[in-house]
Amino acid sequence: MTWKAMSSDRVCDVVDFWIAVDWPRTPEQVQQLGQQIGWSPDEDEMMENGTDALSEPAVPIATMPTGETASFSFWVTDVVREPGVEADAFLDDQYALLVREAQSRWGKGDSSGTEARSTQWDFAGGARAVASRGERSVSVAFTTPQFAQVLRELGE
């Protein structure tokens, strides 16, 4: 089976793009900004990453009670429908490549999970990104500075 993945450079470029945004922004503003990286507005509080041609293009946006964007996440790999040795190797490789590129740009990051299946970076401007190696995919969650501050205050 063959699966697709975004290049690690592209993933980190996307995160760098969002780090540079002047936050806070509404979901509608985020949808408009997303067009600059090839994402298109979709339903309410959604974007679609059609540029990278992955099996799951949806980019859901979470909103704070204030109406500001809290976070959004995007798939880095296709979603593996049938797990197995080849699928695990693909996902492990893609996760390792992503973490390696991210560390070269942003520093070590904090790894967690029994098998270090997620790595978190907190950036100088307050934003946060978490790369995760799930059971069936690799994904990235981007958290805005405003919501990252709420999470820090909660001890997360």
In a domain, 3, yes or no: no
Q: Is residue 85 part of a domain?
A: yes
pLDDT in tens, the chain (156 residues): 799 999 999 999 999 999 999 999 999 999 999 999 999 998 888 999 999 999 999 999 999 999 999 999 999 999 999 989 999 999 999 999 999 999 999 999 998 766 669 999 999 999 999 999 999 999 999 999 999 999 999 998
pTM beyond 0.85, yes or no? yes
Residue 30 lies in a domain: yes
For residue 122, being part of any structural domain is answered with yes
Number of structural domains, the chain?
1
Which domain range does residue 130 map to?
Answer: 8-153
Residue 111 falls inside a structural domain: yes
In a domain, 36, yes or no: yes
| 147 belongs to a structural domain | yes
SS (H, E, C) the chain: CCCCECCHHHHHHHHHHHHCCCCCCCHHHHHHHHHHHCCEECCCCEEECCCCCCCCCEEEEEECCCCCEEEEEEECECCCCCCCHHHHHHHHHHHHHHHHHHHHHHCCCEEECCCCCEEEEECCCCCEEEEEECCCCEEEEEECHHHHHHHHHCCC
